[in-house]
Structures are given as C-alpha cells and as structure tokens.
Amino acid sequence: MRVTDNLIANKFSDNFYSAATDMTNKSQQVSSGRKYSKASEDTNSAIKAFKTRRSLARTEQYQRNLNDASDTLDETESVIMGMQELLIQAKENLIQGSTGTMSVEDKNTTATIFSSFKDQVLKLANTSFAGKYILGGTNTTLAPFTIGSDGALLYNGVDINSPDVKSDVIYVDTGLGLSVDASGNADANTAFSISTPGSLVLGTGVDENGISNNIYNLFDEIQTALETNDLSKIELQIQKLTEKSDDILVQVADIGERCKFVEFLSDRADTDKINLKTKQSSLEDVNVAQAITDYTTAQTTYSAALKMGAKVIQTSLLDFLN
C-alpha cells in the first residue's frame, strides 16, 4: 500500500483527536468525581445507578416517615402519661372525699377540683404537635374533643357514648411493602400506625353499673356524686378510676412497643441507606487517585501525539519557498 502524505496526515488527525478526547474525558472525571457525565457513556452502569438512586430515595422517605412516627409516638406517650397522673390525683382526692367524716364544705371543695380535672383532660386530649392534633385519628386539623350544646362530650363531632364513634387510625409506609384493599384502606399488616385515637384513650360508653368509661365524663359524674354525697356511687367510681388507670398503662405499653419497632425499622433503614450509597458510589464515582493517574497518562499521550505529528508530517513546498 502506498503511504502518502495525505494518509499520514489523516492518520495523525485521528490519533490526535482520540488522544485529545481521552484527555478531556479524564479531565472531566477528575474535576467532577464521576465516571460519566451522560448515560450514553456507560449505559449499563447508568441503568443500575438509576435503580439504586430510586431505592435510595424510597429509603430516605421511609426514614422521614419513621422520624415523624417516632416524634408523634413520643408526644402521644407524654399526653397519655399526663392523663395517668390526673387519674392518680383523682383517686387520691376521691378516696378522701368518700370518708363520712369529711364536711360538706370540704366535699364541695373536692368537687371543684374535679371540675379542674375535666378541663385538664380536655386540654390534654386536644394536644396538637407540629400543627396536628394527635388524638383525633384521621382528623388532624380540628380539635377532636368538643362540648356540645347539651353539655355532652363530642369526639370528632359525635357523642362519645354513641355507637357511631369511630376509632380510625393513620397508617404510614415504613418499607414493609404497603398494600391497600379494594376500598383503598391500608392493610394493617403492611403499614405502621402512628396515631392513637382519643376515643380509645379516654374511653366510650358506660359499664354494667352505669358508671362512665370515659375519663372526662367520669370526672363529671364524680363531681356530681361529691356534691350530692352519693357514697355508694363514689365507691364504684373509685374502682372505675383504678380500672381506667390500668387501661392507660396498657396503652402506654402499646406505644412503647411501637416505639421499639420504629427504632428497629430506623436501624434497618440506616443500614440500607449506607449500603445503597456505597453501591451508588461504586457505580458513579471515580477513584480519585486512579483518575488523576489516568489523566496524567492521557495528557502525556496527547503531548506525545503533538510532538510525533511535528516530526512525521513532512514540510510542504510552500514551507521551502518561505
């Protein structure tokens, strides 16, 4: 094959362009810290990196959900423990008021204390956290407990003693594989409940003795019993206070178990996030030391190409004339 000046020039041009392109790519890798700037440069790695980024985004969302759940549960536990303290104080005061030696004036004073207890229960039950009411179930924008025009305690607008009272809860996706039924309701086995309905905390209805199961209404009945000196009813109410106190402790234990589960899920999410970031780095990030070495090599190749081109390409007739 005849080697012409034109062939030599074209070959040099191709090699020079290749060396310049390689040096530019290596320079971008060093400056950006990434193996590629476009998916087309490494399609296989880009696809894997995209899937990893998507998994990482989901994991980070789970972490946010878990953080919100943990904060909400902590605040709910604080509210319920506040009610537990009220029940303890109420029982102590009621036991004193049940003695036959206490004067009518003292019993009226004790009755006034229970009026204060009612106000405190209502305030605790309507506690809001981060702009949301925590004991309202799915209702987080309005105070769940209100007093009706007839003086009845309402939960989300429904009489607390009505069979229509709902104890719905809020579920969040924490990475358990959330699924919903045909009605769009979350499957409790695949989601996590972050709410504690106030109807369950305070109680609903009355027992077989006609004593209220609701803490607020119970305090109201105790106030009346003290004012009327109804000792037989007071004895039943003391037992009910003990029962409600035990119920509250059960709910505190339930919140504690949920907190532990949230902690377990958070630890798992942290581990998943670390693994995904490591995988993402292996797919997208360059080894800086290696990248600098490769860039130096490409730069040397580029300089060598320039020098070789100056020697290989012969001078033209015009050069001689000049």
88 CB neighbour count, 10 Å cutoff: 13
Cβ pair 91, 243 in contact under 8 A: no
pTM: 0.75
The mean-pLDDT minimum among 59-73, 208-222, 284-298 falls in: 284-298
Residue 230 falls inside a structural domain: yes
Q: Please write the tens of the pLDDT for every residue from 39-82.
A: 666 788 888 888 988 999 999 999 999 999 999 999 999 999 99
Helices marked H in the chain: 5-32, 43-97, 104-125, 198-202, 215-228, 231-284, 288-312, 317-321
Copy the structure tokens of residue 177.
Answer: 């594989």
Copy the structure tokens of residue 149.
Answer: 């025009």
Sign of CA dihedral 80, 231, 206, 221: negative
| Rounded distance between C-alpha atoms, residue 214 and residue 245, angstroms | 12
Residue 246 falls inside a structural domain: yes
The mean-pLDDT minimum among 22-36, 200-214, 251-265 falls in: 22-36
Residue 261 falls inside a structural domain: yes
Average pLDDT, the chain: 81
SS3 240: helix
Residue 195 falls inside a structural domain: yes
Quote the pLDDT of residue 71: 93
CATH code of the domain covering residue 94: 1.20.1330.10
The mean-pLDDT minimum among 1-10, 37-46, 224-233 falls in: 1-10
Of residues 153 and 230, the one with the higher pLDDT is 153
Number of structural domains, the chain? Answer: 1
Residue 11 falls inside a structural domain: no
Domain extent for 103: 49-280
Q: Please write the tens of the pLDDT for every residue from 182-192.
A: 766 777 777 78
Residue 267 falls inside a structural domain: yes
Residue 308 falls inside a structural domain: no
- Tell me: pLDDT of 290 over 70: no
Backbone torsions φ then ψ of 117, nearest 5 degrees: -60, -40
Of residues 145 and 45, the one with the higher pLDDT is 145
Cβ pair 72, 215 in contact under 8 A: no
Copy the structure tokens of residue 286.
Answer: 């360059």
Using pLDDT thresholds of 50, 70 and 90, give the confidence band for residue 172. confident
Quote the pLDDT of residue 255: 94
Residue 231 falls inside a structural domain: yes
